[in-house]
A and B are shown apart, each in its own frame.
Chain A
Amino acid sequence: MSIKSIWYFHGMLSIRHIVKQYAGQRALDDVSIEIEKGQIFGLLGPNGAGKTSLIRIINQITGPDSGEIFFNGEKLNQSHIERIGYLPEERGLYKKMEIGEQIIYLARLKGMSKEQALKKAREWFIKLGIESWWNKKIEELSKGMAQKAQFVSTVMHDPELIILDEPFSGFDPVNVEVIKNEILELNQKGATIIFSTHRMESVEELCDSIALIHKSKKILDGRVRDIKKVYRNNTFLLEYEGGKISVDTMAPFEVVKETDHGDGHNMKLKLKDNVTANDAIHYITSRTQITGFRELIPSMNEIFIEQVNKIS
């Protein structure tokens, strides 16, 4: 077993039975989550579900009422602060402080030396093409620009764990791509990433694993692939040219929904038991010209809604 796999075995972050109560309101109710090293993890759920409360506990901004968190196998303590990078949902920097100075200050609070911070900050500024902002004050920048600077301050100290709360809100589409690529690159270099968001569709294709939080409880977690396997229901989308085909009772599937879009038709179909997609394609090819055929995998949103309905 390699060293890496030992870490893998322990997990990066082990959240065990966390309970957090605010005056008269339970923010987290016995939440347990395992996050493996090198993962991109999605902490998903609607606003007010308890995601930010959990993140604040991981960042040791607040403490849990009960439960424990282990960071790389060690009980979470102050020394881990420097190994975590945190981008809060509510972004903010000192308005009247120059950006370069500010980023170095925040990096030094995370334990970097002045020289290290200066070197690293320059690298990042060049990488993101924002060198010219070094001496600007935040109040002179647009919101998007300030967000870029804040992203730099989040990852400056090469954290092992990067926690991004609503990471893409406030960015324009071009910058979303830029930041997404930077995050993926950091992940490839070994950083574990936690995305926390209520916009599940914005991160689901990035995540290896997810946990769904609803009303302070974890209602579902696991690898995205496994979850989707459980929630897939043999539904496919068929696109074909020409006239509408008729489907008889011999067909290996049932038609769920048919639509005509002028040039051809779309058909949503559900396979019968004990048949494969191949059987369906075989049945169709003899009747029409297929232009597209793919499985309809439920989105996280749909899974979430289904799960919520199931438990209530």
Chain B
Amino acid sequence: MNKILLIIQREYFSRVKKKSFIWMTILVPTLFIGMYALAGYLIAKGDEMGEIQNVLVIDENGSFKASLKNTPVIKFSYSDKSYTEERKAYFESENYDYILRIPSSLKEVQILGEKKPSAMLAGTIEGQINELLKNKKLRDAGIDPKILADAEKGIDIEAKQITANGDKDAGTSAASILGLVTALLVYMSLFIYGTQVMRGVIEEKTSRIIEVVISSVKPFQLMLGKIIGVGLVGLTQFALWIVISAVLTGGITTMMAGDKMKEIAKTEQVSAAKAYNTNPEVAAMQEEAPEDTLSKISKQFESVSIPLIVFSFLFYFLFGYFLYSAVFAAVGSAVDNETETQQFMLPITLPLVFTLILSMSYIINSPDSPLAVWLSIIPFTSPIAMMIRIPFGVPAWQLILSMVLMVGGFLFTTWVAARIYRVGILMYGKKASYKELAKWFFYKE
């Protein structure tokens, strides 16, 4: 036992001290959060930074006078002069960038300018004109604008779960997000740390230190020590990622918490809502909508049991990792270098990739279908499938069965892997085939 601890220590510290570990630990959250911050900043700031386009409206039809709404980047002005006159004046005047010509027939509405108008500009104007036309036609037909506004209102279905303690919010957006994120994390970490175990085994084999080490400890102790050591490296990296992300997010939020940013964010929401709804009443009603959705999602998050998710994440990460890394270790022991591992990688990665693809398309939409249930119970696929399902609520018996099978699967796989490993690490220059591996499995001590 003492010796396993020593091995764990070496495996752990030799990795944690590596420059690549330190860089990965710092860079991953920095890049991710940096990217999000930058994207958020650009979106918030984008309109402001964009040049304001002045559009001169020549309304030959006459029904659009002063009814096109300015946006942060588009300013409308109106002219009573004829198109030909304005066209002549266009190059002399610096006051506007485009001319919007609305002919009386409303056919062939044109936007003209020195530069090509952006799709956004054209789209916004198009939307506004269509909206105005639609409203006008409906009003002309004698429909009350209030009814119009009412008709615009979208209906959201609120999902509620009936429990003994009253109805619980059961919206699925938060569950989907949580499920996907945690499943993806498990998927990635199985690969990242599993291959680290495999590389470690190959390194020991190719550097030939293996024989020295296993003249002091049992091959199984070495394998287990390596697996646990690398697993702890994984947990450390996760913990550091979370801490660094929290610190960075905190820092960025304070940085952006200046009044100015808040203001921008607010006007941004409002104007975005307004841009497509020229009818003031409709716009006013929709202004509240984004806040509503946000609070709904955050309420959903509250209804999901975070401790359960954290616990299952740790459980499925650890045992999934143990199970797969044992297989990775066996593969590492069977080959002389990393390129030879390819023939064995496909069957290992197949269940994982298969489950992930199914997770994103199928399980997430029908988390209680028989296929989803089975995938979340079978040990090789359950770490991913179950993480997807948990936020939606999983019957206790399924969770327990899945976890028991997971532990059982881990023990069985480790046993099989260890039998291959102990022979493989001493085999050199022998091209390992599946038949060969099976033979090794049946070797006596």
Q: Which residues from chain A sit less than 8 Å from chain B, CB to CB?
A: 23, 56, 59-63, 65, 81-82, 84, 86, 88, 90-97, 105-106, 108-110, 150, 153
Contact = CB atoms under 8 A, between A and B. Distances in A.
Nearest to B440: A23
Contacts of B214: 61
A153 B14 contact: no
B14 A81 contact: no
A93 B209 contact: yes
B207 A92 contact: yes
Contacts of A23: 439, 443
A105 B444 contact: no
Contact of B211 (A92, A95, A105): A92
A84 B209 contact: no
Contacts of B203: 94-95
Interface in B399-445: 426, 428, 439, 443-445
Interface string B206-233: 0111111111110000000000000000
B426 A61 contact: yes
B3 A88 contact: no
Contact of B213 (A65, A96, A109): A109
B10 interface: yes
Contacts of A81: 215-216
Closest 7 CB pairs of A and B: A92-B208, A109-B216, A63-B445, A88-B211, A92-B209, A90-B208, A59-B215
Contacts of B210: 92
B83 to A, nearest CB: 76
A312 B443 CA distance: 32
Contacts of A60: 215
B261 interface: no
Contact of A62 (B208, B209, B217, B445): B445
20 contacts: A56-B426, A61-B211, A61-B214, A61-B215, A62-B426, A63-B445, A81-B216, A84-B215, A88-B211, A88-B212, A90-B211, A91-B208, A92-B211, A92-B212, A94-B203, A96-B14, A108-B6, A109-B6, A109-B7, A110-B216
Contacts of B7: 109
Contacts of B217: 109
Nearest to B207: A92
Given A63-B444, A88-B211, A94-B207, 10 more contacts: A84-B215, A86-B215, A90-B428, A92-B207, A93-B212, A94-B204, A106-B213, A109-B3, A109-B6, A153-B212
B115 to A, nearest CB: 59
Nearest to A24: B439
Interface residues of A: mostly helix, strand, loop or mixed?
A: loop
A243 B40 CA distance: 107
A88 B14 CA distance: 24
A95 B205 CA distance: 12
B445 A86 contact: no
Interface residues of B: mostly helix, strand, loop or mixed?
A: helix
Nearest to B206: A92
Contacts of B211: 61, 86, 88, 90, 92
**Which of A61, A93, A95, A97 has its CB near the most chain B CB atoms (within 10 A)?**
A61
Contacts of B439: 23
B207 A106 contact: no
Contacts of B445: 62-63
A165 B443 CA distance: 25
A157 to B, nearest CB: 9
A62 B426 CA distance: 10
Contacts of B212: 86, 88, 92-93, 106, 150, 153
B6 A88 contact: no
A110 to B, nearest CB: 5
A93 B203 CA distance: 10
Contacts of A88: 208, 211-212, 215
A164 to B, nearest CB: 13
A105 B10 contact: yes
B362 to A, nearest CB: 44
A94 B14 CA distance: 10
Contacts of B215: 59-61, 81, 84, 86, 88
A96 B213 CA distance: 16
**Which of B203, B204, B439, B444 has its CB near the most chain A CB atoms (within 10 A)?**
B444
A20 B391 CA distance: 56
A108 B443 CA distance: 30
Contacts of A150: 212
Interface string B190-202: 0000000000000
**Which of B203, B213, B214, B215 has its CB near the most chain A CB atoms (within 10 A)?**
B215
Contacts of B216: 81-82, 106, 109-110
A56 B210 CA distance: 12
A60 B210 CA distance: 14
Nearest to A23: B439
Contact of A94 (B3, B209, B426): B209
Contacts of B14: 94, 96-97
A168 B211 CA distance: 18
B433 to A, nearest CB: 13
Nearest to A88: B211
A141 to B, nearest CB: 13
Contacts of B207: 92-95
A278 to B, nearest CB: 52
A59 to B, nearest CB: 4
